[in-house]
Structure formats: structure tokens, C-alpha cells
Amino acid sequence: METMKPLVLLLSLIIISGIVSAAPDTDDGINVIEYYGTGCPHCLRVVQTLEELQSEYDLNIEEKEIYFDSKNRQEMFNAYIQFGIDPNQGGVPTMLVENRSMIIGEVSKDRFREIFDGHVSNATMGGVFTEHSFSPIEERDVTTQLTIVTILGAALVDSINPCTITVMVMLLGVILISKGKKKMALAATTFIAVIFVAYFLMGLGILTAITSTGLTNIFYYVVTVAALLLSIMEFNAYFRYRPGFFSVEMPMFMRPYIKKIMKGATSIPGVAFAAFLCSLFLLPCSSGPYLMVLSMIAKAVTLRSLLYLVVYNFVFVLPMAAIAFVVYMGRTSVEEIGEMREKYIRQIHLLSGIILFCLFILMLYQIFDGGG
């Protein structure tokens, strides 16, 4: 019997420790993650309710904004998937309680008490809770900031940029003289296709870099300031035009290199390679409007926003296609296009400046409207 006492004591300690470990740990309070959207009235009321219950249940509340923070938004989507819910059916406010329960939408104080009491009394409690009223997830930055008008306006500025027109005229002139109209048409198609794909992929790359580093808002602020500076540069080019100086235009030192590239592009593979190199040169030259659109898309990277990116790049290459078509049809010549460009260069800069300034106003409005 004496030898049994230590064993009984050891067994009792194991059982007691198991009971203690299984009991809910309320010393550290209840951890709550709240996903909310700026300007959402339901979110505001939930915040107030949680603050009122904070001392009662010793809540550790972590607030995460999703409208303007793509990283938080993706985190919330992942939580929905984890709980077996289609993210498209969710909304804000959404709360995670101890990462075991999800509360979707605005719920009453009594409902919160019911859920919190359940977590205190039951360490294995988990599930999805609702109470009728909640806001759908709004891609606010896409549906209000990034309308099709904004896309077309920014793409128009990019497409009529003298950089693009200059390069296209150079290409058509070289191919037409050396290879004839049919080769020119094939070369122009290749050039435009490569420019489209390269610009689109570079846009996706920039988009990925912005969202993965969590610098969406900072990038947006920087690009907003850049929109104002670029519009000022374009207005300056209208009143005091100097080729390649203080305007959204290819700098003079780059033009000899572009001409050399174009003269060497006589074969289709050569044209494709030249187009890729030109896209690298053109992006810094005419990237202002593109970066503005990317900064807006970065706030809600969805299938729709990627479709906007396709539309943008389609509009960007459209003038190139139009120029190639009218030259091929014999309606005009490369020389005439070059002369028209030189004749209306100041008006092109003026139109570009007006559109850029309107984009700046739109972006500035969204910053203040979204609470910064």
C-alpha cells in the first residue's frame, strides 16, 4: 500500500493539470480581430459596442481596415476561406474571436455577450455568427475611384504622349522604306503586340510589388503628388515648349538610342526585340498616368481591376494601330504624321496637362474622402 501512494499522488497531479489546461484561460482576456471599412456606419457602431464591452470581458481588440489596405483585405478573405465561406458573400464588419469564431456583420450588445460568454465557458467553442445587418464588401477604390472614364482618360494621356507617337513614326518609316507595305503591316502588328504584353506584364509586376510590400497607401500618396507635378510640366510645355525639356516627353539624350534601335529592327524577331527595349525606355518616359491607375488598382486587386488594366493597355496601343492602319491604306504618309505631330505638339501637351490635373483632383478627393 505504501508503494501505491506515490503512484496515486502522481496520477492525481496529472488529472489536475489536465483539468487546469483544459479550462478556459481568461487571465489574458479574449482576443478579437475586427476587420472594418472606412466610412462604414455598421463598423462604427460595432466599434462603439466593443469599446463598451471591453472592460466587462477584458477584450484585446485589434482593428484592421480593409478598404484601403489590400494586405488586411486579403487576410480577411483568407479567414473566410478558412471558415468555409465564400468571400464574396462576406462583408464588414467582420470579427474573429480567438481565431475560433467569426462574427459577420453588425450584431447587438446582447449577441456579443452571448458569444463571449460561450467562449469563456467553452474552450472549444467555434463557428460563424451573424445578426442580419452588415455591409457588403465594397471595392470602393475600384467602383468609385477607378471608373471607366478614369481609365480612358489616363490611357489617352499615355497614348497621345509624344514618346509613343515618335517611336511609332520612326518604326513605320524604317520598315516602309526597307521592306514595303506588307512587311510594315506585319512589323507594326508585332511591335504593337509586344508593347501591349510588355506594358501589361510590367504593370502586373509593379502591382505585385506594391501589394506584397504593404506600401499601397504610401505609393498612392506619392503618385497623387506626381500627378500634380506632371500636370504642371505639361502646362509648362504648352506655354514654353522646348523639345524634351520639363515635359512628359522623351528626353533628347534618349532619342538617338531609340533611332538606332529602330534602324536595326528590319526582321520580325528584331522588331519584337526592339519593341521590348522601347517599352523599357517608354515606361519611365510616359509612366505617370500608368502609375496613377496602378496605385488605384492596388487598393483592390480583383478580376475586374485586372480587366481595367487590359482596357488601359488596349487604349494605350490604339493610336499606334490607327497610325499603322492609315499609313498602310495610303490615307497619309509617315512624313505627314510627323509634321502633324510637330504642328500640334503644344496642344497635345495642353490636353495631357488638363487630364492629368483632373486625375490629381480625383485622387486627392479620394484621399480626403477615405480618411487619408
Mean pLDDT of the 146-152 span:
70
Mean pLDDT of the 218-237 span:
85
The 10 Å Cβ neighbour count of residue 229 is 12
What pLDDT score was predicted for residue 141? Answer: 41
d(CA 200, CA 239) in angstroms, rounded, equals 33
What pLDDT score was predicted for residue 372? Answer: 43
What pLDDT score was predicted for residue 119? Answer: 84
Among 56-70, 140-154, 172-186, 256-270, top mean pLDDT goes to 56-70
Cell of 164: 509613343
- 138 pLDDT tier (thresholds 50, 70, 90): very low
Share of the chain above pLDDT 70, in %: 74
User: What is the pTM assigned to this prediction?
Assistant: 0.57
- 265 pLDDT tier (thresholds 50, 70, 90): low
Instruction: Reply yes or no on domain 27-136 having CATH 3.40.30.10.
Output: yes
What pLDDT score was predicted for residue 3? Answer: 53
Q: Are the CB atoms for 134 and 105 separated by under 8 Å?
A: yes
d(CA 372, CA 263) in angstroms, rounded, equals 49
Q: Are the CB atoms for 261 and 279 separated by under 8 Å?
A: no
What pLDDT score was predicted for residue 49? Answer: 92
Write the pLDDT tens digit of every residue in 284-333.
566 677 887 887 776 655 566 678 888 888 988 888 888 888 888 877 77
What pLDDT score was predicted for residue 144? Answer: 43
Among 86-100, 248-262, 272-286, 299-313, top mean pLDDT goes to 86-100
The maximal CA–CA distance of the chain, rounded, in angstroms, is 113
- 123 pLDDT tier (thresholds 50, 70, 90): confident
d(CA 97, CA 32) in angstroms, rounded, equals 5
Share of the chain above pLDDT 90, in %: 6
- 31 pLDDT tier (thresholds 50, 70, 90): very high
What pLDDT score was predicted for residue 91? Answer: 78
Cell of 87: 468571400
Higher pLDDT: 155 or 249? It is 155
Higher pLDDT: 183 or 217? It is 183
Read off φ and ψ for residue 329, nearest 5 degrees: -80, -5
Mean pLDDT of the 33-46 span:
86
Q: What rounded mean pLDDT belongs to the chain?
A: 76
What pLDDT score was predicted for residue 4? Answer: 52
Mean pLDDT of the 37-56 span:
87
Q: Are the CB atoms for 181 and 265 separated by under 8 Å?
A: no
Cell of 80: 473566410
Write the pLDDT tens digit of every residue in 59-86.
999 999 888 787 888 888 888 878 777 7
The 10 Å Cβ neighbour count of residue 372 is 9
State the DSSP code for 364: H
Q: Residue 103 forms beta bridges with which residues?
A: 95, 129
Domain ranges of the chain: 27-136, 140-369
For residue 33, pLDDT over 90 is answered with yes
